[in-house]
Amino acid sequence: MKCDCTKSNLSVVLLFLGIAAVAGGLYAWKYISAQVANASAIQSEPMESVTTATARPFAYREQTTAIGTILALRSITLSNELAGTVREVTLAPGQVVEAGTVLVSLDVSVEQAELKAQAAQARLAETTLDRIQRARVAMAALEVDRAAAERDVALARMAAIKANIDKKTIRAPFRARVGLTDVHPGQYLEVGTILTTLQGVDDAVHVDFTVAQKVVEGLAVGQTIQVFSSLSPSPILARIEAFDARIDPTTRNAMVRARIDDIDRVPPPGSSVRVQVPVGAPHPAVAVPVSALRKGPQGDHVFVIAEDAQGKARAHLRKIESGALLGDEVAVYSGLSAGETIAAGGSFKLRENVLVAVTGDSAGTGTEQREVDDGAAHRTATDPR
């Protein structure tokens, strides 16, 4: 009987020990599972890889656009002063002629005959005057004066005939390029017949354009502007030379003339070009890579990278006012301060407060002058990097 009780107690102890072992195992399993779950929860926060850039300061200046006309420094419409028949023509469209080159000669045979007659008359008058002055017999002062006057009249008529001969020989007044012409030998020309146009061939050209009264008030002689033409992929520098003396009372615009020295990059006279004129004083702004700019229903924005309380880098959406393109950068006029770090490459993957891993810095260095264009408003950017 005693032996059976001992066996029964041992079985109970073993049962309790087994239950305790199972309970301990369950507790350990739950604890380990909870730790694994917590670790998994911490590691499950998404992280995006981006490159960053630093918003750099620069100065921008608003600009307005005008349509300008290229003009030669010297340009005339060639016509004849006197009527006559064409004897010789050396006009060749497109040819460059030097100053003094004979372009059109009219028949002057009649004038040359009259000149010979007047030359003979002048010689006769000179001889008569000389004889009167040398005569031993005293002559009346009236006779001497009359002889001198006849000589002077003959010489004046000779000068007038020579002037007409010169006028019938039409020369290039300056070095120029000849325009289209339709003049032929034997053709009779009335007074004032248009022969051709001459465009001066110089080391510079003019560009004339009109701007609003408010704009012209901020311009000055010697100021540099930019000209854009189809012949040049980059802007051409021009220097303001003069302003019209009046404002158009209808349009309230003023005519401005600028000089372009780089004539190889501009189209021929009469062509139109686009002119960018600065307006007002420069204003501070910042520039960021184009890849950093995001557009959405809420407007333009960038993602600023900043550390949280745990020292982890996170992205924060920042609304901005963007503007002109600066090559591979874009100007930001408000909403962002110089020196702030923003997401550049990979910014399209970001959202507010997302954890980021910075893989590189896309910021560069250098100093350059940029011309910027944002459509309706144009600005000049000076890069101080």
- Min mean pLDDT across 91-105, 125-139, 240-254, 322-336 is at 125-139
pLDDT at 310 over 70: yes
Q: What is the rounded distance in angstroms from the CA atom of residue 166 to the CA atom of residue 255?
A: 38
Q: Are strands 47-54 and 355-361 parallel, antiparallel or unpaired?
A: parallel
State pLDDT tens for residues 211-250: 999 898 888 999 999 999 888 888 999 999 999 999 999 9
Q: Which of 71-75, 80-84, 279-283, 349-353 has the lowest mean pLDDT?
A: 279-283
- The Cα 306–Cα 316 span in angstroms is 8
Q: 182 and 102 in contact (C-beta within 8 Å)?
A: no
Report which of 236, 240, 237 is spatially closest to residue 218, judged by C-alpha positions: 240
Inter-residue contact 69 to 209 (CB < 8 Å): yes
pLDDT at 353 over 80: yes
DSSP code at position 237:
E
Confidence of residue 43 (pLDDT cuts 50, 70, 90): low
Residue with tokens 């060639």: 78
**Neighbour tally for 12: CB within 10 Å:** 9
Question: Which CATH class, in words, describes the domain spanning 47-61+282-383?
Answer: mainly beta
Lowest mean pLDDT among 76-85, 238-247, 313-322, 326-335: 326-335
d(C-alpha 149, C-alpha 153), whole Å: 6
Task: Tell me how long the chain is.
Answer: 385
Q: What is the pLDDT of residue 316?
A: 92
* Order of strands across the sheet that contains 75-79: 75-79, 194-200, 176-178, 96-97
Q: Which residues contact 267 (CB under 8 A, 6 or more apart)?
A: 70, 229, 230, 231, 273
Choose among 267, 261, 264: nearest CA to 204. Answer: 261
Mean pLDDT computed over 175-199: 92
pLDDT at res. 366: 37
3-class DSSP assignment, residue 320: coil
pLDDT at 120 over 90: no
Q: What is the pLDDT of residue 319?
A: 93
Compute the distance between CA of residue 224 and CA of residue 242 in angstroms, rounded to an integer.
12
| Averaged confidence pLDDT in the chain | 83
Alpha-helical (H) ranges within the chain are 2-43, 109-134, 141-167, 213-216
79-94 pLDDT per residue, tens: 999 999 999 999 999 8
Q: Looking at per-residue confidence, does 53 or 133 come out higher?
A: 53
Residues 6+ apart with CB under 8 A from 315: 48, 50, 303, 304, 305, 343, 350, 351, 352, 353, 354, 356
Say how many C-beta atoms besides its own lie within 10 A of residue 77's C-beta.
10
More confident of the two residues 82 and 38: 82
What is the pTM for the complete model shown?
0.59
pLDDT band at 134 (very low <50, low <70, confident <90, very high): confident
Q: Given this model, what pLDDT does residue 244 score?
A: 93
